[in-house]
Each structure stands twice: as C-alpha cells, then as structure tokens.
C-alpha cells in the first residue's frame, strides 16, 4: 500500500467522525417519522413504498447530486454554499452578481438555522431509546440531552482534528452496527428487498396523492446530511469523503433502512420505534449508548460545517469581523469560531426545552435545509452553464431534473410550517436580513471613504510646501483598505499632528474569491515615495491574515526594517444616522453590528502596546 492510499484511508476514517455524523444517524428517526404519520403506514405495501422512497432519495440526492456532482464544484478545495457562490461569481460579469450573492447569503443563513436543529433532534432521538425498555425513564430524557449537548459545545475548542481522531473510530463501529442489525432482519424477511424497485416509490405517490406529501417530507430527513457533507469538504477533501461514502456509509444506511422495513413487515407493532427494536433485548442498553455517542458525532458534522461557512462569511465581509481560531497547523480548513459556537449552543438548548421530544422537533426539521439544498442545485446549474463541454451539458440536464425533485422536497416540507417549520424559516430570515444589512451598510461606508480619498500627489504637494510635516524617526505602519491613495489615518496624522515618520509602510490586505492564495502571489511591494512603501498582501477567504506575519514576510522579501519596533496606525469608524438607501431600522441594526464588530486592529493581530487609532464618524 502506498503512503498516499494509506493517508486517504486514514482521512476517510476521520471523515466518518466529522462529515457523515448527520446523515449517519438519520436511521434513528427518518423511517420512524414516516411510519408515525398514520397507522396505515404499517401495511406491507406502504412499508415497501416508504422504504423505496428512502433508498432512491439516498441514491439520487446524495450519491448523484452531492457525492458525484456537487463535490466536483469545490472552490480550490473548499465546499459550502458561500464557496460555491463565489466560484460561480468568479466566472460572471456584473449582470446577475447581486442575485448570486443573495442566493449564497440565503443558503448560508438557512444552513446556520439548520445547524441548531440537527444536534437537538439527533441527541433527543438517541436518548429516547432509554424509554423503549423503561418507559419510567421518560423524565430523564430532556435533562440528559441538555447535559450531553453542553459537553459537546464545550469540547469544540479542541479542534476538528482532535475530534475526528476520537469520533472516527466510534462512527466506524456505528456504521458496522447499522449494517449488522439490518442484515439480520433482512435475512429473516428477504421480501423487503422488493423496495429496491423504484416502482414501489412511484406507486406509493400515485396511489396516495396528498397523503404521500407528508410521507415525503419525513423521508427527506434521511438525506438532510448532504449539505453538511458539502460544507465539510475543506476539512478532509473529496477523495476521502467519496471513499468513506461508497465503501461503508451508503451500504450501512441501505442495509439498516431495509432491516427496519423487514422488521415492520414481520411485526407491524414495531413501527413505534423500528430502529431500537432491531436489537435483541439484551443488546438494547449498549445500542442506546452507541446511538447517543453517534448522535453527538452527528451534531459535530453540522457544527464543523457551520464553522467553515462562518469563517468564509467573515473573510468575504458578509458578516461583522469575528474571532476565528485555526485548530490545526497543517489543515487550513479546520477552524473554530467561538461566537458561532456559543450562538449554536444557546439555540440548540432552547429548541430542546421548547419542543421536548424528537417527534415534536421533526416538525421543525428539514424545512430550512430543503431550501438550502435547492439553492445548491441552482448554483451548480449556473456553474455548469459556464463550462461549454458536452459532458457538462449532459450534467446540466441531469441536475435540472434533480432540481424538480428539490422543489418537490421544498413543497412537502413547507407543509410542516404550522407544526414548527416556521422556526428555522424565521431564524434563517433573521440571519439573512442581518447579513444583507451588513453587506449593504459596508458598501455605503466604502463609498463615503472613497469620497474622502487623498492621493499621493496631494501628499507630495504638502511635503513640498513652505510648512511641510516634520519627519520623525521610526517606522509607521498604516492599515489601508484601498491599494490606491493614502489611508485616512495617515492623512489625519499629517494634517492634525504635522508629523510623518522617516519610514512609512502602507499595508493593504486583500481577500480574493478563492480559498487560499499561493506564496508566489502573496505579496506585492512598491515604493510610493522616498521613505514610503506600499505592501499589498493577498489572502483567500479561508485564511486568517495577521499583520505581524505580513511584515515579517515583507522583511524576507528584502524590505529592510525592524517589525518589532514599528508603530501601527489604524483607522476606526463609528456611524450616525443620515440620508441613505438604508431604512431606519436597518440603520439601527447596522450601527449595532458596527459597535459589536471586532476591531480591525484586533482582527489582524496588531500589538496593543504599539497601536494608535484614529476615529472617524460616518453617516449612514
């Protein structure tokens, strides 16, 4: 075995603990939710129809759409709806950019909303296994769920790599258990294999009409991990994810779902909880423990995806600056976002307390992610439209057909709105409004700053005047948002303090619409005036630049100065209300976000002991 293939296998095992937790625990509740819609669902023809829907949903949505097609649309190794939107934007002219950007924001907002529901329903459904053999323990379900979730969110700061090392082997045992439980039941009732025939799925929908819509919305729970699978792409890469999916995850899921169907065919009363009743009575306690561990891991898949998308949103300026910690020195995609972790933790706990059971929470689950997955398909269609080859045209036709299925899933899930489906829609809408307001507000701020633009020529004239600024010893580093002209902090220092350092560095950090920028394109150094140098450092949206590292890199490029002795000058903005395109409530929201955004100096790691800040009030 080569080192490369061994590394891919190791990554595939680690991916089990981060990428496949969500979709891997869907057997706990998806098929049970479909059977719970009506007592008639336990009839043999309905069992086969629902099972056939599960099987072909996994094949079409996950195998074909996500694993075969969507994973190929990575943005230089990164996945998720924002990475996909920026990939599409990279090949577009001005027309349509606002629409594509808005779709990316909406998809990210809905994914964030789903990120709170997945941990709640997953852990609740596992802990409820205690009541299968001991109904008297029902009172313990919610407190134990809350304790497990608190520990999970507390552990996030340890990083994805460490979590993957712990969770990967546990998920390997979980998937093997799924397969063995399913195989045993199938062996006792092999007639269940008829569900592999898609005619049963089609016949079920045609025969039941409107009733089948509720069943389809429940069946959708079996594929909701597809979006998290794509969002976690940057953590492990395409090949390990595909290897784990085709060799272990998909076979285990199919066997377990078929096993649950076989059990219900043999005993319709098992529809109450077909997953846990697959196990013999002596093995039920161990299965509850393993299921609880697996659902904790399922939550990790979505949480890791939320961190990745949040980091992308920060770097693309879709949300205010947040603290982002890289949890691995080797894998750039592995990040931890403390604010997102806290927000998710609070939302998840509120959902557990508010709904109280996985059956109640199933009404809220699936609505947001169905819309987000449809947005993925639209963006993929746009991406394929930019590629002129014949195979890509054929893929466009295939994805257009899958989009019709996405629309059907969206419609069926919207029926859940009165039963709790309004929760993720409201949360997603609030997040979208917040991100959209921040983006529009930043555009207004940028336009005001542009109008205050001061050119290098104006500084030359000032230096040549009868009262030039005093040149003082030392090195001054100015953070500049624009690579042209002069930063406001420098102009204020010259005009009001009448001083200019002997050596001045103008540092501009640019975020490109790619995950990472190579070392050969990282830095551009030009002399603006004698004693004044401009440094333009380029970074991708998955990188977290630090100003001290930029300066040390510039020193290696031949720019001679002592970074440890430099003084840093940074401009800060505060806003007041005036006339603009923002509505009154949007101005208040934007001002609140500005006040709570992380300061630029802190975001870029400027040493506090050598920092001078110049404040500016801007009208919005």
53/563 Cα distance (integer angstroms): 63
Residue 562 CB-density burial (10 A; 0-12 exposed, 13-18 middle, 19+ buried):
exposed
Place of tokens 């500049």: 480
Place of tokens 């169907």: 261
How confident is the model at residue 74, as a pLDDT? 81
How confident is the model at residue 363, as a pLDDT? 82
How confident is the model at residue 1, as a pLDDT? 42
10-residue stretch averages of pLDDT, the chain, 620 residues long: 62 76 87 91 94 96 93 81 84 63 86 84 86 82 92 76 68 93 96 96 90 91 84 79 92 97 95 91 89 81 78 84 69 73 92 88 86 93 87 91 94 89 90 91 82 83 88 90 85 87 92 80 90 91 83 82 82 77 87 86 87 79
| Domains of the chain and CATH, by start | 19-420 (1.20.1740), 449-619 (3.40.50)
Instruction: Name the nearest CA neighbour of 230 among 377, 329, 96.
Output: 377
Instruction: Name the nearest CA neighbour of 376 among 25, 48, 10, 111.
Output: 111
162/155 Cα distance (integer angstroms): 10
Distances (CA, A) of 26 to 121, 175, 299, 373, 551: 10, 12, 12, 17, 49
How confident is the model at residue 252, as a pLDDT? 97
Alpha helices in 19-96 (DSSP H): 21-24, 30-35, 44-57, 81-89
Per the CB < 8 A criterion, the answer to whether 348 and 120 are in contact is yes
Instruction: Name the nearest CA neighbour of 405 among 220, 246, 242, 200.
Output: 220
Per the CB < 8 A criterion, the answer to whether 419 and 218 are in contact is no
């Amino acid at each position: 075995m080569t080192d490369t293939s061994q590394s891919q296998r190791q990554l595939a095992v680690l991916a089990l603990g981060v990428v496949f937790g969500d979709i891997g625990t869907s057997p706990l509740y998806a098929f049970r939710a479909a059977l719970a819609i009506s007592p008639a669902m336990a009839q043999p023809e309905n069992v086969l129809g629902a099972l056939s829907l599960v099987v072909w949903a996994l094949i079409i949505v996950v195998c074909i759409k996500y694993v075969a097609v969507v994973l190929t649309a990575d943005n230089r190794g990164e996945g998720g709806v924002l990475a996909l939107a920026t990939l599409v934007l990279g090949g577009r002219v001005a027309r349509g950019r606002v629409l594509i950007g808005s779709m990316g924001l909406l998809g990210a907002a809905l994914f964030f909303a789903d990120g709170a529901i997945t941990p709640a329903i997953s852990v609740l459904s596992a802990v409820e296994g205690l009541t299968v053999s001991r109904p008297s323990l029902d009172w313990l379900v919610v407190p134990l769920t809350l304790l497990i979730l608190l520990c999970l969110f507390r552990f996030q700061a340890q990083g994805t790599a460490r979590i993957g090392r712990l969770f990967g082997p546990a998920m390997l045992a979980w998937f093997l258990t799924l397969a063995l439980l399913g195989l045993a039941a199938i062996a006792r009732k092999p007639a269940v294999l008829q569900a592999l025939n898609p005619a049963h799925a089609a016949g079920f929908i045609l025969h039941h009409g409107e009733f089948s819509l509720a069943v389809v919305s429940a069946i959708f729970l079996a594929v909701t991990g597809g979006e998290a699978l794509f969002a976690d792409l940057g953590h492990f890469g395409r090949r390990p994810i595909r290897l784990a999916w085709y060799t272990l995850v998909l076979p285990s899921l199919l066997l377990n779902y078929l096993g649950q169907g076989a059990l219900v065919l043999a005993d319709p009363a098992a529809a109450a909880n077909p997953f846990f009743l697959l196990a013999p009575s002596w093995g039920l306690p161990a299965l509850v423990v393993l299921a609880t561990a697996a659902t904790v891991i399922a939550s990790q898949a979505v949480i890791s995806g939320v961190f990745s998308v949040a980091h992308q949103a920060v770097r693309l300026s879709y949300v205010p600056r947040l603290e982002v910690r890289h949890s691995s020195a080797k894998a750039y995609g592995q990040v931890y976002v403390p604010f997102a972790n806290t927000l998710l933790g609070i939302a998840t706990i509120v959902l557990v307390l508010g709904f109280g059971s996985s059956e109640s929470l199933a009404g809220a689950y699936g609505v947001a992610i169905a819309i987000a997955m449809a947005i993925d398909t639209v963006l993929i269609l746009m991406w394929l439209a930019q590629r002129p080859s014949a195979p890509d045209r054929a893929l466009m036709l295939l994805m257009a057909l899958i989009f019709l299925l996405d629309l059907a899933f969206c419609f069926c899930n919207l029926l859940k709105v009165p039963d709790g489906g309004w929760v993720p829609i409201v949360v997603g809408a609030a997040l979208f409004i917040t991100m959209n307001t921040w983006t529009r507000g930043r555009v207004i701020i940028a336009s005001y700053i542009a109008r205050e633009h001061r050119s290098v020529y104006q500084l030359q004239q000032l230096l040549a005047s009868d009262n030039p600024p005093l040149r003082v010893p030392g090195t001054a580093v100015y953070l500049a948002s624009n690579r042209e002209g002069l930063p406001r902090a420098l102009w204020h220092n010259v005009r009001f303090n009448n001083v200019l350092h002997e050596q001045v560095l103008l540092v501009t950090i640019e975020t490109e619409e790619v995950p990472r920028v190579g070392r050969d394109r990282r830095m551009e150094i030009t002399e603006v005036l004698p004693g004044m140098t401009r440094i333009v450092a380029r970074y991708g949206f998955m990188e977290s630049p630090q100003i001290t590292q930029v300066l040390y890199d510039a020193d290696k490029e031949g720019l001679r100065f002592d970074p440890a002795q430099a003084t840093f000058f940074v401009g800060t903005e505060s806003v007041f209300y005036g006339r603009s395109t923002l509505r009154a409530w949007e101005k208040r929201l934007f001002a609140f976000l500005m006040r709570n955004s992380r300061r630029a100096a802190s975001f870029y790691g400027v040493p506090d002991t050598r920092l001078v800040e110049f404040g500016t009030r801007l009208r919005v």
